[in-house]
Amino acid sequence: MNYKIPLLIVLISASLYYFFSPASPLSDTQLTEHLNGKVVLICGASSGIGEELAYQLAAHGAKLVLVARSQDKLDKVRAELLNRGTPDENVMIISFDFSDVSRSKEVVDQTLEKFGGLDYLVSNHAAMITGPFLALPYLQDPDYLERIFRVNLFSHIQLAVHALPHLEKRNGHMYFTSSLAGELPMYRNSIYCSTKHAMNGFFYSLQQELLARESSVSLTIGSLGLIWTKEMAQMYAKGNLFPAWATGSAEECSRGMMEAYITRPQTMTFPKLAGTIYRSFWYFKPNFHEGLINTLKPKGSEGTGYKEVVEATGAKDDLRKKMGYQQGYGRQ
């Protein structure tokens, strides 16, 4: 009897179950038991995933240090937390520009001064830089490129360095928000992809160092796809151009991040299905990048659509400044 076909079916079925089935969620009670009273430092907390994560952590009794560049946005998040019943003494906000890498230690120091310790570091901040690299000279400027790498990579490394000794005292955990863009190239995202690829290379290697030294601290890298935040909804106000399987909600993503503090996986892929599909296509479909370009270039464009992309970039400059450069790291 030929066992190859049945064996292949079993392997495919097991793979589909592993990749596509959701992990057993933790209950609210379990989350509260674990998170109540824990000190969580969230960098990139004034909007998007970081903001939603702050609300969910506070609901389970965590003590929060919220860091972002915009003081006004942080004030609004703090006001909303207090409105939801979070005790005033459980929240501290810090306005900080992570392009000033050498001072990243101050964020950790202020956390320790306020709460006396640190249980979880959530390094979630990033400068979202998009646009056709060859067509936009300011993207090619060495000083500009260095600044983006300071924000998207070097500051994360420094936070890990300074937080690690204090996390080890409490068997803590670090979560670094990366992206599927850190595994696959993406059209019109050369700078953002390069910072996320570098981030993955460093922190997956750091995971091995932590294991080698038998550290009590674990590290999760969040390999995130397109998360439907309030900012994304505003950007695509005329309709979502992406299929449902390719996107996930900020609420579900934040819930998964909280559970990762307890289950401590090396990687958290969200949405899980999108990660599996993108990775499979990239590694096993040689012309996947061509299909991706054809999907993203403007409809009705000629040839590669490059000229139309450049024109669309200029036409939407106000929107790009509002959304793409909202952290203040883009073109003024």
What's the pLDDT band for 308 if we cut at 50, 70, 90?
low
Lowest mean pLDDT among 110-119, 148-157, 265-274: 265-274
Kindly list the distances between the CA atom of residue 294 and the CA atoms of 161, 187, 306, 313, in Å, as whole numbers in the listed order. Answer: 42, 10, 11, 17
Whether residue 1 is contained in a domain is answered as no
What's the pLDDT band for 280 if we cut at 50, 70, 90?
confident
The pLDDT tens digits of the residues spanning 232-273 come to: 666 665 555 666 667 889 999 999 999 999 999 999 999 988
Q: Give the residue-averaged pLDDT of 223-230.
A: 86
pLDDT > 90: what percent of the chain?
61
Whether residue 281 is contained in a domain is answered as yes
Residue 327 in this model has a pLDDT that exceeds 90 = no
What's the pLDDT band for 281 if we cut at 50, 70, 90?
confident
Lowest mean pLDDT among 10-14, 138-142, 287-291, 317-321: 317-321
**Choice between 86 and 1, residue whose per-residue pLDDT is larger:** 86
**Choice between 225 and 166, residue whose per-residue pLDDT is larger:** 166
What pLDDT was estimated at residue 332? 34
Lowest mean pLDDT among 2-6, 210-214, 232-236: 2-6
pLDDT > 70: what percent of the chain?
77
**258 is in which domain, residue-wise?**
25-285
The pLDDT tens digits of the residues spanning 7-43 come to: 555 556 555 545 555 456 889 999 999 999 999 999 9
Domain holding 166: CATH number?
Answer: 3.40.50.720
Q: Give the residue-averaged pLDDT of 289-307.
A: 66
Q: Give the residue-averaged pLDDT of 46-64.
A: 97
Q: Give the residue-averaged pLDDT of 288-312.
A: 66
Whether residue 47 is contained in a domain is answered as yes
What's the pLDDT band for 154 if we cut at 50, 70, 90?
very high
- C-alpha angle 202/116/253, rounded to 5°? 45
Whether residue 325 is contained in a domain is answered as no
Residue 6 in this model has a pLDDT that exceeds 60 = no
Whether residue 298 is contained in a domain is answered as no
Residues in Cβ contact with 310 at an 8 Å cutoff, skipping those fewer than 6 apart:
132, 135
Q: Which long-range contacts (C-beta less than 8 Å, at least 24 apart) are formed by 104-113?
A: 104/155, 104/158, 104/159, 104/162, 105/158, 105/162, 107/41, 107/43, 107/65, 107/67, 107/159, 108/41, 108/159, 108/162, 108/163, 108/166, 109/162, 110/65, 111/39, 111/41, 111/65, 112/166
Mean predicted lDDT score pLDDT of the chain: 84
Kindly list the distances between the CA atom of residue 281 and the CA atoms of 128, 289, 291, in Å, as whole numbers in the listed order. Answer: 24, 9, 10
192 classed as catalytic: yes
What pLDDT was estimated at residue 285? 73
Whether residue 3 is contained in a domain is answered as no
Whether residue 300 is contained in a domain is answered as no
What pLDDT was estimated at residue 255? 96
Kindly list the distances between the CA atom of residue 245 and the CA atoms of 49, 185, 211, 230, in Å, as whole numbers in the listed order. Answer: 19, 19, 34, 18
Candidates 120, 192, 261, 329; catalytic one: 192
Count of structural domains, the chain:
1
Residue 3 in this model has a pLDDT that exceeds 70 = no
> pTM of the predicted model, to two decimals?
0.84
Whether residue 154 is contained in a domain is answered as yes
Residue 323 in this model has a pLDDT that exceeds 50 = no
CA distance 253 to 49: 7
Instruction: Give the 3-state DSSP-derived string for the chain, with helices as H, strands as E and coil as C.
Output: CCCHHHHHHHHHHHHHHHHHCCCCCCCHHHHHHHHCCCEEEEECCCCHHHHHHHHHHHHCCCEEEEEECCHHHHHHHHHHHHHCCCCHHHEEEEECCCCCHHHCHHHHHHHHHHHCCCCEEEECCCCCCCCCHHHCHHHHCHHHHHHHHHHHHHHHHHHHHHHHHHHHCCCCEEEEEEEHHHCCCCCCCHHHHHHHHHHHHHHHHHHHHHHHCCCCCEEEEEEECEEECHHHHHHCCCCCCCCHHHEEEHHHHHHHHHHHHHHCCCEEEECHHHHHHHHHHHHHCCCHHHHHHHHHCCCCCCCCCHHHHHHHHHHCHHHHHHHCCCCCCCCC
What's the pLDDT band for 131 if we cut at 50, 70, 90?
confident
**Choice between 318 and 38, residue whose per-residue pLDDT is larger:** 38
The pLDDT tens digits of the residues spanning 69-79 come to: 999 999 999 99
CA distance 52 to 222: 16
Q: Give the residue-averaged pLDDT of 180-184.
A: 91
What pLDDT was estimated at residue 283? 76
